[in-house]
């Protein structure tokens, strides 16, 4: 499987980069208490932080709003997924455990202030192109709605769009039956490449510690 960034996306966001992790032979299930505890404690600490700060005081929120604008997306109408998580915490509508893969995904998204998508690799068809969506791009999302990806950053396989730093599709979602997965970390474009490698590897190592299996990672740039 090859993962590339389109020329159009690269021209609009010259420093665009993603961390890509592929996993095999993983075991997803209820989160261990350590993951549940870290997720809850981080949200509680973040809530007090958010009482004293604006959302855009967090560099990841600010940068991803700017990135959405550069792509052609109105970030006030279509919020980056990491901002949506922060808004939940600000309202004390804390994230509750779903399963180990989603819980870790949410934890690292909050921690690193970036959108992160995780997908069942066996539901992804062929190569992946990360691009600016066109009028025909869209999918049934995890938000329970049909989402157009026009003028939005989206990941597409041979069957069409399936992921985005806004919301992911139902078609490629991970479940407790998933054995192979692909994780896309939508890094802040201004992240230095050395830091991008460190962040991506740290996330992969933690994921493998919880889920077993094997993983490989790379940084894909425009």
Going from N- to C-terminal start, the domains of the chain cover: 3-221
Cα separation, 208 vs 215, in Å, equals 7
What pLDDT is recorded for position 222? 82
Tokens at residue 136, please? 């025909």
146-148 and 138-140 strand pairing: antiparallel
Query: Shortest CA distance to 104 belongs to which of 206, 212, 218?
Result: 206
**DSSP H or E run through 130:** strand 128-132
Per-residue pLDDT tens listing for the chain (222 residues):
899 999 999 999 999 999 999 999 999 999 999 999 999 999 999 999 999 999 999 999 999 999 999 999 999 999 999 999 999 999 999 999 999 999 999 999 999 999 999 999 999 999 999 999 999 999 999 999 999 999 999 999 999 999 999 999 999 999 999 999 999 999 999 999 999 999 999 999 999 999 999 999 999 998
Query: Contact 60/114 with Cβ under 8 angstroms?
Result: yes
Cα separation, 85 vs 82, in Å, equals 5
Residue 9: count of CB within 10 angstroms of its CB: 21
Cα separation, 130 vs 110, in Å, equals 23
What pLDDT is recorded for position 134? 96
Say what the pTM is: 0.96
What pLDDT is recorded for position 51? 95
Cα separation, 171 vs 153, in Å, equals 18
Question: What angle in degrees, to the nearest 10, is found between the helix axes of 81-90 and 59-71?
Answer: 140
Widest pairwise Cα distance in the chain: 46
What pLDDT is recorded for position 156? 98
What pLDDT is recorded for position 11? 97
Cα separation, 128 vs 171, in Å, equals 15
Q: Is the dihedral of CA 20, 127, 129, 173 positive or negative?
A: negative
Fold held by 3-221 = Phenylalanyl-tRNA Synthetase; Chain B, domain 3 (3.50.40)
Helix (H, G, I), strand (E, B) or coil at 116: strand
Cα separation, 99 vs 82, in Å, equals 19
Cα separation, 12 vs 68, in Å, equals 10
Residue 132: count of CB within 10 angstroms of its CB: 21
**DSSP H or E run through 60:** helix 59-71
Helix (H, G, I), strand (E, B) or coil at 118: strand
């Amino acid at each position: 499987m090859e993962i590339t960034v389109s020329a159009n996306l690269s021209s609009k966001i010259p420093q665009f980069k993603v961390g890509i992790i592929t996993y095999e032979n993983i075991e997803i299930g209820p989160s261990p208490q350590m993951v549940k505890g870290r997720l809850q404690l981080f949200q509680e600490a973040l809530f007090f932080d958010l009482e004293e700060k604006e959302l855009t005081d967090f560099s990841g929120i600010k940068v991803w709003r700017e990135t959405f604008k550069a792509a052609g997306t109105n970030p006030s109408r279509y919020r980056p997924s990491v901002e949506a998580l922060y808004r939940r915490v600000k309202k004390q509508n804390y994230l509750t455990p779903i399963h180990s893969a989603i819980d870790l995904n949410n934890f690292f998204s909050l921690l690193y202030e970036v959108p992160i998508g995780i997908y069942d690799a066996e539901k992804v068809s062929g190569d992946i192109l990360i691009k600016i969506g066109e009028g025909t791009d869209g999918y049934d999302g995890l938000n329970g709605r049909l989402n157009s990806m026009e003028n939005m950053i989206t990941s597409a396989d041979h069957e069409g769009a399936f992921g985005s730093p806004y919301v992911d599709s139902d078609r490629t979602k991970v479940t407790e039956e998933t054995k192979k997965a692909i994780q896309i970390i939508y890094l802040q474009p201004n992240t230095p490449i050395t830091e991008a490698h460190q962040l991506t590897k740290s996330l992969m190592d933690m994921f493998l510690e919880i889920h077993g299996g094997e993983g490989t990672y790379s940084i894909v740039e425009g």
